[in-house]
Amino acid sequence: MTTLKISNLHVSIEDKEILKGFNLTVNTGEIHAIMGPNGTGKSTLAAAVMGHPSYEITEGEIWLDDLNILDLDVDERARAGLFLAVQYPSEIPGITNVEFLRAAINAQREEHDKIGIRDFIEKLDEKMALLDMPEEMAERYLNEGFSGGEKKRNEILQLLMIEPKMAILDEIDSGLDIDALQVVSNGINAMRGEDFGSIIITHYQRLLNFVTPDFVHIVMDGHIVKSGDASLAKQLEKEGYKGLIQELELDIEINE
């Protein structure tokens, strides 16, 4: 089992504190959903765990088993088994999807263990079929000209090809049509198992209808204010954040 442990994390952007003592432990085998109003620090959490240089960690720790993640560069974090599907994937003209994926897989492997072209193509064909992606997308430049939904599908293709231990999926469901939501959910569910853990950041219960989380956490004002099981997301859908603020007697103002 692998464990990602985030303790008392404080993160600032341009001297403004966004995360204010965030605690979360995720084991492989578990899916954690993170929900919360706009601007409460969910993407900041994702960026800080992956090592985005604009996010300053002012206090706290992040450990992946006995590895101090905060000591590692972004590429080292990826090689340690962390993966981030970002909210707005970048377009990288000049590098094809195939080239990127093979390089990403091999970057995680020792010299004697590099993936051969035949195994790679077989795996790629299988995963693209699972995601209902047309073959020509493999040869297109990374995300260039991809629609919003195609970019999200492509993030899940990377997930399935790279097979990280821990993945943070930031709003992977935003902008997806109903069929694509099902396909992306199938992709996430295909990763589920003892060797995979995930933090899924989402605004909507609808993704969680397809990918049932083991835990749901609500973030407000830079930290988790309530945790529960999948029923918490359903309660939230019914009562909204204002209901939760009243229930918890929080002194927080949000725009809904």
Ligand X SMILES: Nc1ncnc2c1ncn2[C@@H]1O[C@H](COP(=O)(O)OP(=O)(O)OP(=O)(O)O)[C@@H](O)[C@H]1O
Task: Provide the binding-site residues for ligand X, judged by CB under 6 A.
Answer: 13-14, 16, 18, 36, 38-44, 54
Q: Closer to ligand X at the Cβ: 41 or 164?
A: 41
Tell the smallest beta-carbon distance from residue 14 to ligand X (Å): 5
Nearer to ligand X among residue 2 and residue 87 (C-beta):
87
In the bound state with ligand X, the residue whose beta carbon lies nearer, of 46 and 183, is 46
**How far does the chain reach from its first CA to its final CA, in angstroms?**
39
Min separation Cβ 45 and ligand X, Å? 7
Q: How far is the CB of 233 from ligand X (least distance, A)?
A: 15
Question: What angle is formed at CA 150 by the lines to CA 135 and CA 153, rounded to 5 degrees?
Answer: 85
- Count, in order, helices (H) and strands (E) of the chain: 8, 12
Complex with ligand X: residue 138 or 219, whichever CB lies closer: 219
Closest distance to ligand X from the beta carbon of 15 (Å):
9
**Cα 193 from Cα 203, distance rounded (Å):** 24
Cross-strand partners of 217? 34, 227
Among the listed residues 216, 220, 159, the one whose alpha carbon sits nearest the alpha carbon of residue 191: 159
* H or E element, residue 189: helix 178-191
